[in-house]
């Protein structure tokens, strides 16, 4: 008969159901230990009662050792004998050592596997130390305190046997060991379920935060749409477009003026040598030099046209007086440029340039509130998008953790169910999810 055969149904009951068709016992994890105990209650109760009885006997034996130890402490070897002092000293050392070991005998507060296992382990250690008496001490005690030593040895042997019986009650396959294994496995699964529940709570919290953030983003997108469709915004877009056109026109006029001056670049350079010899006021000399080196900037300045006319006039006189020698093509270009200055072409370009520059300046004074709002809302939407992506990444990580944790739980549940079936002969289905 197998160790757990007593748990199986009677043969008449077995015949009532076809083999392999027994319906598993469904049980919640929280009530598993109770249901298991119901299936092995008789044997478990017997073993627990036996463990209590053995513990009482072992305690009684240790009390007897304590009493014998007390008697031994009062015994004295006959005075006058040569070994009087040595024998009594060895006896006293033994007595004190036993007293010290007796103080370490553990108390048992229950009859569960862990409590009994701890008691057996510690008590066995104390027993080994009590029996492990040095040879010289053992010889002298058994010779000179023969009666007391023999009684102590006998009691120690009783404790050893009783401990052996208690160990058999908690050995592998015993009801107490079985319940402990089931409890330990169930506890591990419950810890894993707590981890799974924590992941679910964290997932729920993140989904809620993600939902709120998405709602906030939707609100901001509606704000942006309303702004972009507003009359104010359309006016501003048109204004920006116009500003771009004005900037291009301003640049075109600068290039046109620069191009006009490029045709007289060499004559002006040559006039610079003549200018070096001329006697002119310092301010006028500086103005002339600026026109020669930065003609566009100089012409567009407040007195630019006056300075230009004077420089062109002086350069023309220098050419006429043969102070400057020009090629025919250079002379032709200089003459054409001189006519443009006289006809007001350069002044016209300058006038257009200054009008455009003024319009640009006036437009620049206007506050671009809708544009500022647009950029602000776009930044807020981008920040919300970043938060949503973070939530999604975290949710993906939690989802993977949930899958792996659930797989581990189901794997450990299968081990638990097989463990129960081996121990009880019944199939159990532990409900978890």
| pLDDT at residue 370 in the model | 60
Q: Give the pLDDT confidence score for residue 367 in this predicted structure.
A: 60
Q: Are 420 and 428 in contact (CB under 8 A)?
A: yes
Q: Using CA atoms, how far apart are residues 287 and 89, in angstroms rounded to an integer?
A: 125
The total of other beta-carbon atoms located within 10 Å of residue 10's CB is 8
DSSP 8-class letter at 289? H
Q: C-alpha angle with apex 48: 46 to 50, nearest 5 degrees?
A: 70
pLDDT at residue 280 in the model? 64
Distance of CA 94 to the CA centre of its chain: 60
Q: How far is 40 from 259, CA to CA, in rounded Å?
A: 109
- Kind and range of the H or E run holding 404: helix 369-424
Tokens at 324, concatenated? 């400057």
Length of the chain: 433
Q: Is 26 in a helix, a strand, or coil?
A: strand
Helix (H) / strand (E) containing 430: strand 428-431
Whole-number pLDDT of residue 5: 37
Dist CA 360 CA 38 (whole Å) = 94
- b/e map 362-372, b = 16+ CB within 10 Å: eeeeeeeebee
Residue 32 burial class via C-beta count within 10 angstroms: exposed 0-12, middle 13-18, buried 19 and up: buried
**pLDDT for position 11:** 42
CB distance 398 to 202 below 8 Å: yes
User: How many angstroms separate the CA atoms of 279 and 29, rounded?
Assistant: 112
DSSP 107: P
Q: What is the dihedral of CA 402, 404, 406, 409, to 10 degrees?
A: -140
For residues 395 and 332, what is the distance between their CA atoms, to the nearest angstrom? 80
Helix (H), strand (E) at residue 66: helix 41-74
CA 323 to chain centre: 85
CA 132/CA 386 separation, integer angstroms: 73
Over its length of 433 residues, how does the chain's per-residue pLDDT go in tens digits? Answer: 333 333 334 444 444 444 446 788 888 887 887 777 777 878 888 988 999 999 999 999 999 999 988 888 887 766 555 666 777 888 888 889 889 999 999 998 888 889 999 999 999 999 999 888 888 778 878 887 888 888 988 999 999 999 999 999 998 888 888 888 888 898 899 999 999 999 999 999 999 999 999 999 999 999 888 888 888 878 777 777 888 888 898 888 888 888 877 777 777 777 766 666 666 667 776 777 777 777 778 777 877 777 777 777 777 777 777 777 778 887 888 788 888 888 888 888 888 888 888 888 887 776 655 667 888 899 999 999 999 999 999 999 999 999 999 999 999 999 998 988 888 888 888 888 7
In angstroms, the CA 50 to CA 57 distance is: 11
| Residue 427 phi, psi dihedral angles, 5° rounding | -85, 135
**What gap in Å lies between CA 25 and CA 7, rounded to an integer?**
15
Token pair recorded at residue 127 = 């027993």
């Amino acid at each position: 008969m197998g160790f757990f055969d007593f748990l199986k149904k009677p043969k008449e009951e077995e015949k009532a159901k076809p083999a392999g068709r027994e319906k598993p016992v469904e049980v919640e994890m929280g009530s598993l230990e109770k249901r298991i105990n119901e299936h092995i209650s008789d044997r478990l109760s017997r073993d627990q009662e036996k463990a209590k009885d053995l513990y009482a006997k072992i305690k009684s034996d240790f009390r007897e050792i304590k009493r014998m130890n007390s008697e031994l402490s009062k015994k004295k070897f006959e005075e006058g004998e040569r070994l009087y002092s040595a024998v009594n000293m060895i006896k006293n050392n033994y007595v004190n050592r036993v007293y010290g070991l007796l103080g370490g005998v553990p108390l048992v507060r229950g009859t569960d596997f862990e409590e009994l296992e701890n008691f057996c382990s510690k008590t066995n250690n104390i027993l080994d130390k009590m029996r492990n008496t040095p040879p010289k001490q053992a010889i002298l005690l058994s010779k000179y305190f023969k009666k007391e030593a023999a009684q102590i040895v006998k009691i120690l042997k009783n404790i050893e046997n009783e401990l052996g019986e208690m160990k058999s009650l908690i050995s592998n396959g015993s009801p107490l060991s079985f319940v402990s294994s089931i409890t330990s496995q169930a506890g591990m699964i419950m810890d894993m379920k707590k981890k799974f529940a924590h992941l679910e709570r964290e997932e729920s919290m993140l989904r809620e935060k993600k939902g709120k953030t998405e709602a906030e983003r939707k609100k901001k997108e509606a704000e942006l749409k309303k702004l972009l469709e507003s009359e104010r915004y359309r006016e501003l877009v048109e204004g920006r477009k116009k500003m771009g056109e004005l900037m291009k026109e301003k640049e075109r006029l600068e290039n046109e003026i620069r191009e006009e001056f490029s045709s007289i670049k060499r004559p002006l350079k040559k006039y610079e040598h003549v200018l070096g010899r001329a006697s002119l006021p310092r301010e006028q000399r500086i103005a002339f030099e600026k026109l020669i080196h930065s003609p566009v900037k100089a012409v567009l300045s407040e007195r630019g046209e006056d300075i230009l006319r004077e420089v062109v006039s002086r350069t023309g006189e220098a050419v006429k007086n043969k102070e400057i020698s020009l090629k025919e093509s250079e002379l032709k270009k200089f003459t054409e440029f001189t006519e443009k200055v006289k006809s007001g072409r350069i002044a016209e370009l300058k006038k257009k340039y200054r009008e455009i520059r003024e319009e640009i300046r006036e437009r620049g004074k206007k506050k671009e509130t809708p544009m500022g709002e647009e950029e602000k809302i776009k930044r807020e939407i981008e920040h919300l998008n970043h938060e949503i992506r973070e939530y999604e990444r975290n949710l993906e990580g939690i989802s993977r953790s949930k899958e792996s944790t659930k797989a581990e739980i189901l794997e450990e549940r299968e081990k638990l169910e097989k463990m129960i079936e081996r121990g009880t002969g019944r199939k159990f289905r532990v409900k978890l999810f």
